[in-house]
Amino acid sequence: TRVANLAVACVGPAEMAGITMLVDGRVRTAVFTSAESPEIDSAQYETGEGPCLDAFRHQRVYRIDSTAEERRWPVFSALAASHGIVSTLSLPLVARQEGVGALNLYARSGPFSAADEELGGVFASQAGIVLANSQAYWDARHLSEQLGQAMQFRAVIEQAKGVLMATGGRNADEAFQLLVRASQRENRKLRDIAAELVERAKQRHPP
């Protein structure tokens, strides 16, 4: 949001901005400086055609100098014009050499220039870095949580193997295979079978 606001303040005639990106598997305007931005963008999400989507897909800059004369994306251009938008500038957001979205700028007072494209690209690159860092953080956190859960599951399974070894005279491999067969037979996760077995053992032999 900070990057989008700064882009509006610094890039040529821009009066509002939106960031197109995937959210929960769907493309939408996830960040915007004005509520009009997602309203205008809705046309391209419904039709699958528009400069923001193409900037996202093809990692290229797309500029509309006049929404009244634009023919590449007629539905989007007509809706933008109805909101008083004269020109748009859509810049790809790239992270890890992959397109992750687009920074879209909208102007009512005149077309964007080549210099505006260059300056807008600086803000788009910063937004891409923010998204990449955010994704890296959440990936690392998710992995950490998965590893923590795996360690917990492993501890429960080892305890269940110990119960079976102590009560049935089995070795470690035999105890584990018994858990596997029970999991397959009951169509339940092995860790759930193990946790239930450990809980039953605790009830029979409380501390």
pLDDT digits (tens, 9 = 90+) for 38-78: 999 999 999 999 999 999 999 999 999 999 999 999 999 99
Please give the structure tokens belonging to residue 144.
């950490």
| Exposed / middle / buried, residue 24 (Cβ in 10 Å: 0-12, 13-18, 19+) | exposed
pLDDT value, residue 207: 55
- The beta strands (E) that lie in the chain are given as 16-23, 26-32, 62-64, 87-95, 98-107
Predicted pLDDT of residue 206? 61
Q: What is the pLDDT of residue 87?
A: 97
Residues of the chain with pLDDT under 50: none
The residues facing 18 across adjacent strands are 32, 104
